[in-house]
Structure 1
Amino acid sequence: MKHRLVVEPARPVTGTAPGAGTGPMSVHLLGAPYVMCGPDRQPAPRGRKTWALLAYLLATDSTPSREWLAELLFSDADDPLNALSWNLSQLRRLLGVSATVGGDPVELRLPPGTFIDVRALRTGTWMQALDLPGLRRQFLEGMSFPSSPAFEVWLLAERRHLAGVADDVLREAARARLATGDARRAVELVSGLVASRPLDEDAQELLIRSYVRAGDRGAAAQQRDACVALFQKELGRLPVEAVLRAADVEPPPDPPTRMASEVGIKARLEAGLAAMDAGAIDSGVASLRQAAADAHETGEPELEARTLVTLGSALIRGVRGRDGEGAEILHRAVAAAERAAAPTYAAQAHRELGYVELLRARYDRASRWLGKAASLAADDPAELAWARAIQGLVLADIGRHSDGQRELRDAVRLARQARVPTAETWALTFVGRSHLLRHELADARAVLREALAAAHRARWTAFVPLPESLLAEVDLMEGHVDEAAAAFEHAYALGSQFGDPCWEGISARGLGLVADRRGDLEAALRWVAEGRARCARQPDAWLWIEGYCLDTLCALASRHPARLAGPWIADLEALATRTGMRELVARAYLHRGRNGDRDAAEAARVLAAEVDNPAVLTVERPPFV
């Protein structure tokens, strides 16, 4: 998808916060908006619509025509196109002679070195983001545009998303501080996150663990108990096990012995991984922890990086609910790999950190980690294949399907070159998913069949339920109900055997679609609600599947006379706007429109313009037709 914002030479973030010599221009849209040219603040334009125009041009990924912008922002004017032209002239005056804005479609060009606070928040390091004067302040703070209701909806979605990104920065900063031993600072950072999102189990676990690491076990226990009481009151359940155990102090590793050597440490790593493969999770993790402790004592940073990457990855991929701890360990692995000048381990740590962020739909942070992983893995096709494969899914999850498919197909090529069948399987599966979401059914069937065959060849049985469920949905869309039912049932059973909430969720959703096609709408709602509950029961499950289930619940409920879709639509809207799942944001407003909100229906069209999927506004996605 083309971006019509150009900063020459293009760069995602330049300099630090304004007031510290950031170059000729800085644009601030977090908080009350303003523009600096050198040391001088530019006079504010007349009226708020110029700020709205600038915000839209900077934040959207679409390529707006003059007619589109006139309708979006100036439909209340006697001559909308003339009103747009006047506001473009105001924008030129605001930005100065070094910037240009105009054309059709409208293109905004900013001078070299321009600092843009929303881009620094989304693509900068956590250190850069923490320095932003507008961090955690509202996008276009204090402004409203009641005469442009569709733009108001777009602005609300952006505000929620940027607020979510600010929370993600605090989370990442706290983990980084914890990894360096600065637990007190970690407590300060994550306390703000917990205050704004008290039902975020990952944040609660991080705060409790930070208290423990700071030596304040009393505060850790108090926070855990407060969290338990809150969850029982608000949700009628306990928080996940990782939260309940976060106040416990891990037993220290055994003291290193003189016999600790590189060979012995590698053997301990192998034994730990073998134990985890055999299902002995606790003993496997203990062995990996001991290997990491022994490696630290050797003073060999490359060996320490290897053990930390192995331990962190094992906690993320092999232990439910331990992603937060695994991410902290991977931050330490990055530091060790940098000391050792070991790009392979640095790439692996960055890639795994990107994977964690992907699962929880923190897409801006994920893209940053994965971009660095790809640059570090430039000479390693196997590692580069995984970095590209995960980045492709990041892009597809936010509705950039063509960009995502380019990454995924490159990952397939690299995986075949390096003979990494799991990476090939992953990438093919998500190429197929994009075709499915875009209703390109013939292409989806061909690629998903290939993915399922690749999963079987690789003996990656634990992954089979995903391509199997997606292929079953193609069957259902094409009217092959019995074949789809059998495949969904098998995927659900297999996912349940592995205890994978993601695969249980997506296959339960599929069984709901089958029930709907067979005329049992009540059973359909029960199955899809069960799918949502399954994939939401762990804080480290792939959050996109919950959104996919919610979209289906909204569509089903709209046809059920005794069911109100409103709560599900609100949940979908909140989830999708906070995370930046633009495709599902558009779907949420489409559902609102179908339930009688005319402004929401128009807003859905505006939001869909940022999504690379011509099927996103299909009134009812197959198989509901």
Structure 2
Amino acid sequence: MVGQLGGTIRLLGEPAILDADGRSQPVRGHQAWALLARVLLARTPLDRRALAVELFPETVDPLGSLRWCLASLRKALNTSDCLNGDPIEGGFADDIDIDVLRLDRDDFDIEAAGPLLGALEPRCSPEFATWLLVERARIAGIVEARIRQESIRAMSVEDHGRATRLAELGVRRNPYDESAHILLVKSLALAGRYQAALDHVEATEAVFMAELGEKPSAALRSAARRTISSPPSGISRQAFVTSLMQSGLAALSAGAVDAGIDCLRRAVRDAEKHKDAQLTARAMFELGTALVHSVKGYDDEGSVLLRQSTELARQAGNAAIASAGFRELGYVEALAGRRPSAATYLAQALELALGGENLAGIHGVIGFNLVDWGRLGEGLDHYALSLEHARSAGNRRREIWSLGLGGWGLLAADRLEEADRWLEDCLALVEEQRWMSFRPWPVAVLSEARTRRQARPDDLRPRLEEAFALSCQMNDPCWEGAVARALALTYAAEGAFVPAVEWLGEARRRCMRDSDSYAGLQVEILASQVDVNLKLDRPEMADAIAREWLALAARTHRDAHVARAAAFIARRG
């Protein structure tokens, strides 16, 4: 039997099957929806017997229950041509609209997307409960990344109504996520609703203090600001803006971050008054990049400026600025674990790239995103391309960055000797270029590589302790977390699990201090905490952390960690 054409399967929010005329079709039992979600989201067809045991663990005849649910779903869909075979194939008609398969489509209604299976909690096996936890976290991460991406894009094209509506949705979904509040405040400020922006800042600070015990960072209030400046008489506005950018970048290079950011903010404001798209694009790019790399906690405001710069640069025909802006946007998304969004931005950067130095940066960030995604071979290939382009262009800092982060990728691939060589080369270049603010990262990763190769922990700690002190002096939560974790691993390697767990606690606290911390490192810290707590015979603590590990790994697309954490939880049962 072939049913009528069209129809909808909705699994994000309250599940439903609708016919071509929009009428809801009855489906009995939570297990039927669990079955449909399991089949639709499976990467390969599912074995009937294994699926029956997973969905109906307490049933006398699991296979019979599975057949009944499959039949009820086919009836609701008015077709016999799907959900057949062993293993079970979906086989859905092309004209059926299935929301969970359209998350990456431009026409997907992101505002209507709820949690996978809504509030349903099917009574199935522990294996299914773990699968559902992972998929809910993964899909929530995709939806929230799309909301963020669309909100920032709406701001960049001055669609203020949509930007504010999407930002409000982001806040409703995550009321204690500072990034979501920053985007809402920025959308209100860009719409000229300055009082509303300030009111939201005040309300958010009060809620955070009452519920979390601390205020959000200064980035929230900064997003509501209005920068006002006027050029001195006698010079062109273009010359004034250029001088402000040069002064700002020089101040940043000298470590005067506040002065540098202030100069760049003034440059953006005056460029906007000049109504020169190319000049404004460049000023917004420089300020956005500075906020991302030089000021902790300001990635969200930086992303808005970077997205505005790409729109203006494309309008002005400046592919270089547009490409660089998309590269930096890709870096922000990759750092936060929003990997599909990062891949989209980086593909746009690559399409607009002019060559050489631009390609070195883009391939480096693509490698960074892919390695943490678990696609190690592809990621390391991009790091190799990045190094090739950086060396051809003579860009030592790009070379340092790709050696340091590429060494992290080689460590993930268990290629420890290569990792050691890359990281030693990285540290030699850091010394040559005096880029001391980057030094803690390769020191931490090299220490982990050597710990895994049974180096003496006492030989590794002096350099790690120096790197930790440097990280603290720079107030860099990512570097502090990375070095603290590396120190913990040296103690764990010699069986000193009490100091190891203490250092891991420090690593986690420091790494998560700001809203724009490195999600990939957070996942590694959680994994290490589970391992060390087990060795300390603290199974309850290990189990609790494992659930956080699994949820964060799923949300940030750390697929290898999802498998490890799920297997650990299944073993603990």
Matching residue of 1:162: 139
- Taking the aligned partners of 2:50 and 2:466, their CA distance within structure 1 comes to 47
Distance 1:368 1:270, change over 3 A: same
Do the aligned partners of 2:523 and 2:549 also contact (CA within 8 Å) in 1? yes
Alignment root-mean-square deviation, CA = 3.8
> Which among 552, 555, 570 is matched to residue 578 of structure 1?
555
> Hey, what's the Cα distance between the residues in 1 that align with 2:529 and 2:564?
12
Asked if 1:383 is matched to 2:365, the reply is no
Q: CA deviation at 1:78?
A: 8.4
TM-score (norm: length of structure 2): 0.84
SS in 2 for 1:259: coil
CA offsets per residue over residues 287-313 of structure 1, 9 Å max, x none?
223333343344432232222211211
Q: 1:234 to 1:100 in 2, by over 3 A?
A: closer
Identify the residue that residue 305 of structure 1 maps to in structure 2: 281
Query: How big is the shift at 1:142?
Result: 5.6
Q: What's the counterpart of residue 228 of structure 1? A: 205
The structural deviation recorded for 1:82 is 9.7
Contact 2:182 / 2:301 at 8 angstroms: preserved in 1?
no
- Of 384-393 and 53-62, more deviation after overlay is shown by 53-62
The within-5 A match list for 1:231-270 is 231-247=208-224, 249-254=225-230, 259-260=235-236, 262=238, 265-270=241-246
Distance 1:448 1:226 in 2: 46
2:127 alignment partner, one of 150, 155, 170:
150
Match of 1:20 in 2: none
Q: Measured at CA, do residues 133 and 526 of structure 1 come closer, stay the same or move farther in structure 2, by a change above 3 Å?
A: closer
| Aligned-residue offset at 1:507 | 0.6
2:401: which partner in 1?
426
Residue 315 (structure 1) aligned with residue 315 (structure 2): no
Report the residue type matching 1:199 in the other structure. Answer: Y
Letter in 2 for 1:155: L
- Which amino acid is the alignment partner of residue 396 of structure 1? V
Q: Which is worse superposed, 561-570 or 335-344?
A: 561-570
Tell me the distance in 1 between the aligned counterparts of 2:233 and 2:89: 65
Structure 1 segments unaligned to the other structure (5+ residues):
1-22, 599-625
Output the amino acid matched with 1:425: I
In the other structure, the counterpart of 1:499 is: 475
Greater shift after overlay, 316-325 or 142-151? 142-151
1:371 to 319, 327, 347: 347
Is 2:269 aligned against 1:287? no
Give the aligned residue type for 2:13. Answer: G
**d(CA) in 1 for partners of 2:48, 2:163:** 47
Structure 1 residue 200 and structure 2 residue 177: aligned? yes
Distance in structure 2 (CA, Å) of the matches to 1:142 and 1:577: 19
Q: Does 1:465 align with 2:440?
A: yes
Further displaced range: 42-51 or 322-331: 42-51
Contact 1:102/1:108 (8 A) holds in 2: no
Q: For 2:377, which of 397, 402, 412 is the aligned residue? A: 402
Residues matched between the structures, number: 566
2:502: which partner in 1?
Answer: 526
Give the TM-score normalised by the residue count of structure 1: 0.78
Q: Give the 3 Å change call, closer, same or farther, for CA 387–100 of structure 1 in structure 2.
A: farther
**Residues 132 and 275 from structure 1, CA distance in 2 versus in 1: closer, same or farther, beyond 3 angstroms?**
closer
How big is the shift at 1:155?
1.9
Tell me which residue corresponds to 2:305.
329
- The one-letter amino acid paired with 1:29 is L
Q: Which has the higher helix share?
A: 2
* Structure 2 alignment gaps of length 5 or more: none
Please tell me the residue identity of whatever aligns with 2:470.
L
1:505, distance to aligned residue in structure 2 (A): 0.4
Paired letter, 1:138: P
Secondary structure, aligned partner of 2:387: helix
Deviations 1:240-280 (A, max 9, x none): 22235445x33312158673265554343222201111122
One-letter amino acid of the counterpart of residue 387, structure 1: I
CA 1:63–1:321: 2 relative to 1, 3 Å: same
Query: What residue number does 2:167 align with?
Result: 190
| Counterpart in the other structure of 2:330 | 354
Structure 2 CA distance for partners of 1:509 and 1:325, relative to 1, 3 Å = same
Q: 1:146 to 1:489 in 2, by over 3 A?
A: same
Which residue of 1 is the match for residue 155 of structure 2?
178
Q: 1:347 to 1:76 in 2, by over 3 A?
A: farther
Q: Which residue of 1 aligns with 2:115?
A: 138
| Matched-pair contact (CA < 8 Å) for 2:285–2:309 | yes
Given the superposition, is the C-alpha separation of residues 385 and 48 from structure 1 closer, same or farther in structure 2, using an over 3 Å criterion? farther
Distance apart, 1:458 and its partner CA: 4.9
Q: By how many angstroms is 1:336 displaced?
A: 0.5
SS at match of 2:535: coil
Contact 1:262 1:303 in 2 (8 A): yes
Aligned residues with identical type, % of pairs? 32
Task: Pick one of 429, 435, 440 that aligns with 2:410.
Answer: 435
- Give the 3-state SS of the residue equivalent to 1:199 in structure 2: coil
**SS in structure 2 at match of 1:564:** helix
Alpha-carbon distance in structure 1 between the residues aligned to 2:101 and 2:440: 37
Kept after mapping to 2: 8 A contact 1:256/1:293: no
Partner of 1:477: 452
Distance in structure 2 (CA, Å) of the matches to 1:240 and 1:477: 37
Distance (Å, rounded) in 2 between the aligned partners of 1:408 and 1:110? 40
Give the letter aligned to residue 511 of structure 2: C
After superposing the two structures, state which structure 1 stretch, 235-244 or 470-479, moved more.
Answer: 235-244
Contact persistence 1:117–1:132 (CA under 8 A) = no
Retained in 1: the 8 A contact 2:52–2:65? yes
